[in-house]
Structure 1
Amino acid sequence: MAILPLVIAPDPRLKTRSEPIAEVTDEIRRLAADMFDTMYYERGVGLAAVQVGVLVRMMVADVEWKSDGEKGTQWVFINPEILSSSEEPHLYKEGCLSFPEQYAEVERPQSVRVRFTDLQGQRREENFDGLLATCVQHEIDHLNGVVFVDHISRVKRDIILRRLQKMKKQGVISHREHHPYQDHGDHEHVHGEHCNH
């Protein structure tokens, strides 16, 4: 298990389409474990392999974990693809571990059906809605070289990227202390007022 260094925007790797995984090997399982360790350490709820510099189509998620260390359902998605999505949209204030301290409201389908391979090499189909659906769509975007700021206006996107570039040059990049997805309705933390992830 290891905490892996994050790829921070702007970085060309975040705009690169990741390659499919041909076989679920022990190396892939170790990478998934390291990605979970990194995600929890950085207080995220989802992480794509490209965000730790590995350009393969794998992502992990746990939108239920608590700041006291209690973990929720751990999802590993290998070669995921969205089969269908609801017409009903939902607006979340999203953040991203590769965009520390930056947030933007992004509209996505409320629910999705996803096909993916799990760590046992089994091909599965699952339905997701709410926060987990948003997280899954956000991370699949990463695998396709798309980042959440691509869903907002060019002006807002350029402001965020310039801000990050300046932070990187000054060496003051620090990762957020709050939940990366917030409901548009009240912008409170999803897990309540005392939640800090």
Structure 2
Amino acid sequence: MALRPIIRFPNPALGMSAEMVTRFDSSLRSLVDDLTDTMRAAPGIGITAPHIGVLQRVTVIELERQAGPRTFVNPQMIWCSEETERHSEGSVSMPGISEEVERPTSIRVRYQTISGETLEEEASGLMAVCLQHEIDQLDGIFWIRRLSRLKRERAVKRFEKLS
């Protein structure tokens, strides 16, 4: 387990789609361990492999430390509710910046475990927000692209001032 450097906005790698994981071996387990350590140190509640420069479809989400981290390999959203809600979002690649993003309130995802088992799960609330946010990142959609042009420009300017 090791901390890995986090790629910072506006690195072009944050706009690249991640590749499907096909090998469920010890290197995947090491990647998940590194992601967990890096996310906790950031600090954050979610991180993807692309955040550390690894273009693989892996995300780790930990909403509560005592519940432990959840790993989603090759996640894809297969259903979402028509009902939406706004929630404050940010990124470990753009620390110190957050904005409200509107997303479906409930979703269903299909993903694999680190051993390769395929599962489906419904999520709502913060877990639904995090899954959508991280799946976007795996698809090369950095979260600020979900903002209006004006809000996106303001967020970028605030981040540039912080950096």
Shorter chain as denominator, the TM-score bin is over 0.9
Q: Specify the alignment match of 2:19 in structure 1.
A: 19
The answer on 1:151 being equivalent to 2:146 is yes
Q: TM-score, normalised by structure 2?
A: 0.95
What's the offset of the Cα at 1:160?
A: 2.0
Following superposition, the deviation at residue 159 of structure 1 comes to: 2.5
Give SS of 2:44's match: coil
Percent identity, please.
Answer: 37
1:83 aligns with 2:81: no
**Residue type of the alignment partner of 1:112:** I
Q: Is the 8 Å Cα contact of residues 25 and 115 (structure 2) preserved in structure 1?
A: no
Give structure 2 stretches of 5+ with no counterpart: none
**Greater Rg over alpha carbons, structure:** 1
Partner of 2:100: 105
**How far apart, in 2, do the equivalents of 1:7 and 1:133 lie?**
24
Other-structure match for 1:160: 155
Give the whole-Å Cα distance in 2 for the aligned partners of 1:7 and 1:108. 25
Instruction: Report the residue type matching 1:107 in the other structure.
Output: E
State the one-letter code of the partner of 2:98: Y
Q: Output the aligned Cα RMSD.
A: 1.2
CA apart distance, 1:166: 4.8
Q: How many matched pairs?
A: 163
Which has the larger helix fraction? Answer: 2
CA distance in 2, matches of 1:161, 1:16: 19
SS of residue paired to 2:96: strand
Q: Does 1:10 align with 2:10?
A: yes
* 1:33-92 Cα deviation digits (max 9, x unpaired): 110011111121110110011111110101122xxxxx3142111111101011111110
SS in 2 for 1:100: coil
Q: TM-score under structure 1 normalisation?
A: 0.79
Secondary structure of the 2:78 match is strand
